[in-house]
Amino acid sequence: MLELAGTAAPSTLHRSSAFSAEDFTGPSSAGPETPLIDHSLRDHLRPWVTPASTTRDDGSPGPYQWRGLIWQTVEFNIVENAFRTSSDDVMRDLLGHKPFWHDYVASMRQWNMRRFSDGDDFLVDDIGHPIQGAVSAYIEIQNSPSDARLEWGDPGYTMSRFKGLLWATVFSTHEKIGPTGEAGIGNDGGFTYGNQCFYHCTSATFGPGTIDTKYTNNTGWTDFVITPVVGMVWVVGEDVLDKKISDRLSEAYPDKLWPKIVRGSLSPSRSFANMLRWRVPWYRDFQESPAPADRVHFFRSDEAVEATRIPRFSIAPFARNVSIATNSADCFNCRHNVIGGGVEGSVKLRDWLAFDSIVSYHPGASPLPSDRAGGDMVVAAFGLSATREWEQYAVHLAIRPGLVHFTNAYLASPVTFVVPVTPYNIGTTPAAPATIPEPGVIDANGTPNQPPLGGVTHFAWDVGLSGDYKLAHGVAIRLGVDEDVVRYRTDKVDPPALGAPPYFSWLSKENFINRGNYTVQVGPVFSF
């Protein structure tokens, strides 16, 4: 009986006998209470931060972190474009008021590869762009479990940095001619400006005898070459300083903060790449112990079990009210509450992230036509939504690009002419009611040059915040508030000529405005 009392239960013996001692994470001296390490929750919540030093069971480097490479590259692109648009008023105007895809294609057609210089100054071309190349190279390096641990002079160092050079070349090429690069956001190539006076040239600042006699459309070979090549010079230089100076300071003062600050300051490109993976600037993979490899677990983690209980699909029919500018006999181009219905559907990509779509139909939204609205309205948007779940509630934040379609609107802007309207409601010029120039919409009967009618479609962004109250398993009631930003073409047209030095433009002559429209919707949600 004493032997039986000191022996583990038969089921435990049977379960343990299927594994050898080497299957466990730590040495036996760690005690029976030491938990096995599970990184699944961290990787699940922050997919762009993956342990680049992950090892396999045999101690060799783990697989390449492609997920981290893509996420961090996208982050870098977003940060760059945010800085560019916030500091350039012309770029903001182009994004806000010009047709994106038309002008992107027009810019690409004017790309000049018959010269090396693109007209930028030394600080931009020879300092800023190489740093961009170095950051993108470090993004590639830090997502390789083997290359991230190599220092200057280590075996394999040269090949590891060559792979970083290849990725820097890909990234810099996209940043010049990609749709989210300089040709797409900013329309480099599509227009010209003075090399020195930029967008504010006058006869006193441009021309013979002035400070500026040349103009450019900011295209050429320079950034395609300088960014990755000189960027690798930055990488090697930072790596040498890291080993020759920062390593020695860290060894001499291991408990001090200032050597870490010095390390981050001497490696600005690597520090920025570290922050893109949510690490401190002075983080170094070679200073960290390799992350433990995936091990065999007796039981699934609580997080994994809970994730399987979350419904993957949901369908939410709803009634929807949109406050949007439409036309009626009482008011032209005025905001009206347009009621309709539709359905929202989502597919879980993770327990907090879903592909989300919404479609709604609003009959008779605009009784009278204009070049912006007319007839029934259909809204369709597709994007992503983030969710936070509680036992009884859930909150969703969705961002969806989409389209707003009207079935019976003018296919072109009406010709402006004088009509008597009393009282008038759209005239903005200080004139008598009988002489106000108005498009022929309100008094449409017998209007000369009335445009043909048909369907018109506007691009839109839908940003929605909604909350669920769970009534039962798989059934909830949802209340949502959205902001739909609709992009309308205006009747303002730029002069048809290409321009004169230093300002030529091959961009669209059309202009657009963006108008926000709030919506409220309510309905049930069925999850399965």
384 with 399: CB under 8 angstroms? yes
Same-domain pairing of 375 and 504: yes
Q: What is the pLDDT of residue 4?
A: 40
Average pLDDT value for residue range 176-193: 95
Domain encompassing residue 173: 66-287
Q: What is the pLDDT of residue 298?
A: 53
Q: What is the pLDDT of residue 203?
A: 87
pLDDT higher at 393 or 43: 393
Same-domain pairing of 279 and 329: no
pLDDT category of residue 301 using cuts at 50, 70 and 90: low
Tell me how far apart the alpha carbons of residues 194 and 212 are, in angstroms, rounded to a whole number: 7
Does 45 have pLDDT greater than 60? Answer: no
Q: Is residue 294 part of a domain?
A: no
Listed in sequence order, the residues at least 6 apart from 85 whose beta carbon sits closer than 8 Å to its beta carbon are 91, 92, 95, 185
Same-domain pairing of 282 and 344: no
Same-domain pairing of 259 and 336: no
Tell me how far apart the alpha carbons of residues 189 and 107 are, in angstroms, rounded to a whole number: 5
Does 415 have pLDDT greater than 80? Answer: no
Q: Is residue 300 part of a domain?
A: no
Does 421 have pLDDT greater than 50? Answer: no
Q: What is the pLDDT of residue 303?
A: 60
Amino acid sitting at position 450:
Q
pLDDT higher at 212 or 437: 212
Average pLDDT value for residue range 111-130: 92
Place of tokens 């902001």: 483
Q: Is residue 1 part of a domain?
A: no
- Compute φ and ψ for 438, nearest 5 degrees: -135, 150
Residues in the chain: 528
Does 425 have pLDDT greater than 90? Answer: no
| CA distance to 181, 288, 375, per residue, from 178 (Å) | 5, 37, 38
To the nearest whole number, what is the mean pLDDT of the chain?
A: 83
User: Residue 187: left (phi > 0), alpha (psi -120 to 50), or beta?
Assistant: left
Listed in sequence order, the residues at least 6 apart from 405 whose beta carbon sits closer than 8 Å to its beta carbon are 377, 378, 379, 380, 455, 456, 457, 458
CA 264 from centroid of its chain's CA atoms: 27
Same-domain pairing of 481 and 376: yes
**Percent residues over pLDDT 90 in the chain:** 66
Q: What is the pLDDT of residue 200?
A: 84
Q: What is the pLDDT of residue 351?
A: 83
The CATH number for 466's domain is: 2.40.160.20
Q: What is the pLDDT of residue 199?
A: 84
| CA distance to 14, 37, 63, per residue, from 40 (Å) | 27, 9, 16
Tell me how far apart the alpha carbons of residues 440 and 372 are, in angstroms, rounded to a whole number: 14
Of the residues 287, 322, 355, the one at which a domain ends: 287
Q: Is residue 419 part of a domain?
A: no
pLDDT category of residue 18 using cuts at 50, 70 and 90: very low
Q: Is 405 exposed, middle or buried (0-12, 13-18, 19+ CB in 10 A)?
A: middle
pTM of the full structure: 0.76
Q: What is the pLDDT of residue 54?
A: 55
Amino acid sitting at position 188:
D
Q: Is residue 174 part of a domain?
A: yes
Same-domain pairing of 334 and 225: no
Q: Is residue 301 part of a domain?
A: no
Average pLDDT value for residue range 71-86: 96
> Which of 9-23, 173-187, 388-402 shows the lowest per-residue confidence on average (mean pLDDT)?
9-23
pLDDT category of residue 448 using cuts at 50, 70 and 90: low
Of the residues 287, 321, 336, the one at which a domain ends: 287
Q: What is the pLDDT of residue 57?
A: 55
Query: Residue ranges of the alpha helices (H) in 32-88?
Result: 40-45, 66-86
CA 426 from centroid of its chain's CA atoms: 38
- Compute φ and ψ for 165, nearest 5 degrees: -60, -40
> Which of 332-336, 430-434, 454-458 shows the lowest per-residue confidence on average (mean pLDDT)?
430-434
Same-domain pairing of 320 and 388: yes
Same-domain pairing of 397 and 337: yes
Of the residues 272, 287, 302, the one at which a domain ends: 287
Q: What is the pLDDT of residues 145-183, one digit of tens each?
A: 999 999 999 999 999 999 999 999 999 999 999 999 999
Same-domain pairing of 393 and 269: no
Q: Is residue 304 part of a domain?
A: no
Average pLDDT value for residue range 437-453: 55
Strands 453-472 and 393-410, sheet pairing: antiparallel
The token pair at 125 is 């071309």
Same-domain pairing of 276 and 316: no
Same-domain pairing of 318 and 237: no
Does 80 have pLDDT greater than 80? Answer: yes
Average pLDDT value for residue range 21-29: 41
* Beta-bridge mates of residue 515: 486
Q: What is the pLDDT of residue 332?
A: 86
SS3 495: coil
Does 462 have pLDDT greater than 70? Answer: yes
Q: What is the pLDDT of residue 444?
A: 44
* Beta-bridge mates of residue 318: 342
pLDDT category of residue 2 using cuts at 50, 70 and 90: very low
Same-domain pairing of 71 and 126: yes
SS3 11: helix
3-state secondary structure 436-447: CEEECCCCCCCC
> Which of 39-48, 259-268, 457-466 shows the lowest per-residue confidence on average (mean pLDDT)?
39-48
Query: Residue ranges of the alpha helices (H) in 242-341?
Result: 247-252, 258-266, 268-276, 302-309
CB atoms within 10 A of CB 228: 26
Q: What is the pLDDT of residue 275?
A: 97
pLDDT category of residue 350 using cuts at 50, 70 and 90: confident
Element (H, E) at 416: strand 416-418
Q: Is residue 170 part of a domain?
A: yes
Number of domain units in the chain: 2
Does 93 have pLDDT greater than 60? Answer: yes
Listed in sequence order, the residues at least 6 apart from 315 whose beta carbon sits closer than 8 Å to its beta carbon are 343, 344, 345, 525, 526
pLDDT category of residue 449 using cuts at 50, 70 and 90: low
